[in-house]
Amino acid sequence: MRSGRRCRRFKSSRPDQIQRRHRLTSTWLPVASLPQPRELVAAEIVVSGDVQGVGYRAFTQRAAKELGLSGWVRNLYDGRVQVEVEGPRAKVEELLARLRRGPSLAEVTDVSVTWKTPTGSAQGFTIF
């Protein structure tokens, strides 16, 4: 007779072997086959207005790091700021909302976005 302890024999702990019950089908599926909640995107963002000399690049870097995004930000010669960013779509859209507001000293007049295919090559977020 067994004691009160139950043990699972031959249960794999490898991440690719772990199975979870899928909430919609109520069947057991390998974790790798479950829908992925994070759609990765990349965006080139150009911000116009009074955005140079007011801490806009540092504001952008801080916001991107808080959101866990990667990429870079730089000033353009015509007074605009260019941002290249990569990460989950929801986080990139949150960054866009923050960039439209900007830091307190900035006056943002326009934010243009060009969506791109993510490359995955960027690590961290850099000010140029």
Give the per-residue SS3 of 28-56: EEEHHHCCCCCCEEEEEEEEEEECCCCCH
> Are 33 and 27 a contacting pair, CB within 8 Å?
no
Return d(Cα 7, Cα 114) in angstroms, integer: 54
Threshold 0.85, pTM exceeds: no
pLDDT at 2: 54
The residue annotated as part of the active site, out of 74, 75, 80, 98, is 75
pLDDT at 5: 57
- Which CATH architecture describes the domain 40-127? 2-Layer Sandwich (3.30)
Indicate if 57 belongs to the active site.
yes
Tens-digit pLDDT profile for residues 16-46: 555 555 555 555 555 554 445 568 999 999 9
27-36, 42-51, 94-103: lowest mean pLDDT where?
27-36
Indicate if 80 belongs to the active site.
no
Return d(Cα 66, Cα 16) in angstroms, integer: 30
